[in-house]
Amino acid sequence: MKIIKKAQAGTFESSDILILVEPVSGNSGRKIEIDSTVMKEYGESIKELINSCLDSFHIQNIHLIAKDKGALKPTIQARIETALKRASQQ
């Protein structure tokens, strides 16, 4: 999958996550920014989940911003998938 434009999915509501994605130039890799109300407890798990989702879509070059308000794993996965599909126009 190739990211060709900016896109987002999710909200700032409690128990949700806002995912913003945008393309990066060349082969600059993944830039992931996470802001979470549960960063101390689950920050590493959230980062691993994001990377796993990006791996499943074969995405290496992307800028992804996650603003989490305590979302559960399936919610995070769904928001990432939606944002990626919107950004790739699939």
CA distance 78 to 83: 9
pLDDT for 89: 78
> Topology of 7-88 in CATH?
Ribosomal Protein S5; domain 2 (3.30.230)
pLDDT for 22: 97
- Rg of the Cα atoms in the chain: 12
Mean pLDDT of 35-52: 96
Answer yes or no: are the C-beta atoms of 68 and 17 closer than 8 Å: yes
Answer yes or no: are the C-beta atoms of 59 and 1 closer than 8 Å: yes
pLDDT tens digits, 65-81: 999 999 999 999 999 99
Helix (H, G, I), strand (E, B) or coil at 24: coil
CA distance 90 to 79: 15
Q: Where are the domains of the chain?
A: 7-88
Mean pLDDT of 22-31: 92
Mean pLDDT of 39-45: 94
Please give the model's pTM, rounded to 2 decimal places.
0.93
